[in-house]
Structure 1
Amino acid sequence: MRVLLVGDHPPPFGGVAIHVQQLHRFLRSRGVEAKVLDIGKGGRPVPDVLPVRSPAHFGLRLTGFLASGWTVHVHTSGNNPKAWLLAAMVAGVPAGRAPRFITLHSGLLPDYLAASAARRAFARVALAGYTRIIAVSLAVREALLSCGVPAEKVLVQPAFCASQVQAGEVPVKVEAARARRRPLLTMAHHPSPVYGRKVAFRALRKLMESHPDVGLALFGPGTDSEEFIRDARELGVAGQLEVLGELDHPAALGLIARGDVFLRPTTHDGDSISVRESLALGVPCVASDVCARPEGTRLFRAGDAASLATSIGEAVAAGPAKVASPDVGPVLLELYEALAPRRSAPVQAAPAA
């Protein structure tokens, strides 16, 4: 069994990239020859993670793997033209008999496809060449079915490998934040308004009335921007923030593990990997009600700071979470093995890196 994962690989540490990294690690732990064709920005060299220099370079590498009989699994958001061009390109390469899989990750996908009949038609054509399509939520599945994708090809599975969630060491400033904040809330930050920074700040302001030592530790891009600083000052929470910038994923998990509650105040969402990581680490998670959330998540009304503050208070009072987390790794491995063609000819060498 040889599997090529196509998608972003950290850094940066986005949800799709983290899932690709964890699935790659899981497959290798099971003795599968697995590689990643990294279509992101790339970073420090990682064994069996192959950077892509250009679209032509990507096409050549992909064709080589398919011609050599590798099972290919694409991971993309599905909420923008680039994602669908990638899906179409991989499905359209006329090489190899091995199955092709795709996981569509974004909670914005349903709205993206609903906005245009042309988008739905393109999605249907782009997905025609895939043996199986993995939707991370029922909403994503329904959106795909509305495009005319055959129901029997679409599976709903969370993009999560519970066995790969391992909290790492944290910077000294995280331990310092833990020591001075009661409770310590944590949150993955992004400059996009979809991530709900303002509603989190407003809820934090309300919590200060009953919990004067409360702190919110944020990690991720954009925490040094003028907009971030302005919002923190105008909403009166600058003194309660622990701004940590971008952390390596193990350190981010270490931070979440040391917190009292993890926040996910998004305005749109898919199957958030950070929500599942929090629960897998035994940390209560408070998330917006914009989509189906894993069992054990405490919900609040999206955009409602008072509702968020109330839910945080309840989560703090309830204490650590106890949730059984799913692991898509074994499910995908079984699927790969069931659908992979039986080889009778000698195995070709992997394409050169």
Structure 2
Amino acid sequence: MSFKTLNLVVVGPLPPPAGGMANQTRQLAELLRSEGARVAVVQTNAAYRPRWAGRLPGVRAAFRLVPYLVGLWHACGQGQLVHLMANSGWSWHLFAVPAIIVARLRGVPVVVNYRGGEAGSFLNGSAGVVRRVMRHVAALVLPSGYLQAVFQGYGMAGEIVPNIIDLERFHPSESPAVGAAPHIVVARNLEQIYGIDVALQAFAQIRRSVPSATLSVAGSGPQLASLQAQAEALGIASG
């Protein structure tokens, strides 16, 4: 299949922050361009303009939503297919639903690429609304069998398209010397959904058996202070 004649619209977040969904959106756009497709990215987390608008609770949503809708309308007017990176909760209502509606008004098919660990609880309260919107999309793709089963349970069939990874960016290092202390790395945004607190508890148990083991948590987010306090309480915080 040739991508060289395709005009695609990719809708989703971009780094920063460097979360999984943002990285997947950026990588998807880059790979499609490398195949020759013309790709327009409509960013759902674009910076507030003017910047001070981000400090106005209750109003700042409008400063992001209006430019987003304008960008959607323009991009869909030139695109042949919309690939929508969708998530749960308010993100679905504020960004996914408008993208589907605008694409329909523009006569452009939409592929919904849904990802979100809280899909079950979200659909438990919003399945009817989601189903009505999903009737207007060309396809639903999901990164795992788990999410496929969740959506199937609410009457929405989807295809599994696993996450992609650019293996050229990673190179194996030399094997560590025998007896070297294990170094565990957790790379996640510091949010409750990712269970970093559980990783800290598990590492505390590892340290009892392997006192020389170390843990690095690479990420930022709202749970930074509470996780630092937990590490102190568990006796695993670095000096």
Q: Same fold (TM over 0.5)?
A: yes
Does the C-alpha gap of structure 1 residues 35 and 164 become closer, same or farther in structure 2, counting only changes over 3 Å?
A: farther
Answer yes or no: is the 8 Å Cα contact 2:83–2:113 preserved in 1. yes
Please give the secondary structure, in 1, of the residue aligned with 2:108. coil
Match of 1:12 among 12, 17, 25: 17
Inter-partner Cα distance in structure 1 for 2:197 and 2:86: 28
Answer yes or no: is the 8 Å Cα contact 1:74–1:102 preserved in 2. yes
Aligned counterpart, 1:188: 187
Match of 2:110 among 75, 82, 100: 100
Inter-partner Cα distance in structure 2 for 1:19 and 1:208: 34
Does the C-alpha gap of structure 1 residues 229 and 58 become closer, same or farther in structure 2, counting only changes over 3 Å?
A: closer
Q: 1:42: Cα distance to partner? A: 4.1
- Kindly indicate which of the two structures has a greater share of residues assigned to helix: 2
- Aligned counterparts, 1:226-305, within 5 A: 226-239=225-238
Aligned counterpart, 1:221: 220
Aligned counterpart, 1:163: 166
Q: 1:39: Cα distance to partner? A: 1.1
Instruction: Give the number of equivalent residue pairs.
Output: 213
Answer yes or no: is the 8 Å Cα contact 1:134–1:157 preserved in 2. yes
Q: 1:36: Cα distance to partner? A: 1.2
Q: 1:221: Cα distance to partner? A: 0.6
Q: 1:6: Cα distance to partner? A: 0.5
Unmatched runs of 5 consecutive residues or more in structure 1: 44-51, 169-180, 241-353
Q: 1:38: Cα distance to partner? A: 0.9
Answer yes or no: is the 8 Å Cα contact 2:14–2:25 preserved in 1. yes
Answer yes or no: is the 8 Å Cα contact 1:110–1:139 preserved in 2. no
User: What letter corresponds to residue 15 of structure 1 in structure 2?
Assistant: G
Aligned counterpart, 1:203: 202
Q: 1:4: Cα distance to partner? A: 1.1
Q: Considering only aligned residues, what root-mean-square deviation do their CA atoms show, in Å?
A: 2.7
Q: Stretches of 4+ moved more than 6 A in 1?
A: none
- Aligned counterparts, 1:1-353, within 5 A: 1-42=6-47, 54-77=64-87, 79-93=88-102, 94-114=104-124, 116=125, 119-149=126-156, 151=157, 154-158=158-162, 160-163=163-166, 166-167=169-170, 182-222=181-221, 225-239=224-238
Does the C-alpha gap of structure 1 residues 37 and 19 become closer, same or farther in structure 2, counting only changes over 3 Å?
A: same
Unmatched runs of 5 consecutive residues or more in structure 2: 1-5, 49-61, 172-179
Answer yes or no: is the 8 Å Cα contact 1:201–1:232 preserved in 2. yes
Answer yes or no: is the 8 Å Cα contact 2:204–2:236 preserved in 1. yes
Answer yes or no: is the 8 Å Cα contact 1:134–1:155 preserved in 2. yes
Inter-partner Cα distance in structure 2 for 1:12 and 1:165: 22
Please give the secondary structure, in 2, of the residue aligned with 1:208. helix
Inter-partner Cα distance in structure 2 for 1:164 and 1:34: 23
Inter-partner Cα distance in structure 1 for 2:167 and 2:42: 20
| Structure 1, 80-89 or 27-36: larger mean CA deviation | 80-89
User: What letter corresponds to residue 74 of structure 2 in structure 1?
Assistant: G
User: Percentage identity across aligned positions?
Assistant: 22
Larger relative contact order, structure 1 or 2 (CA cutoff 8 Å, min sep 6): 1
Q: 1:226: Cα distance to partner? A: 3.1
TM-score for both structures, normalised by structure 2: 0.78
Does the C-alpha gap of structure 1 residues 207 and 142 become closer, same or farther in structure 2, counting only changes over 3 Å?
A: closer
Answer yes or no: is the 8 Å Cα contact 2:65–2:94 preserved in 1. no
Please give the secondary structure, in 2, of the residue aligned with 1:65. helix
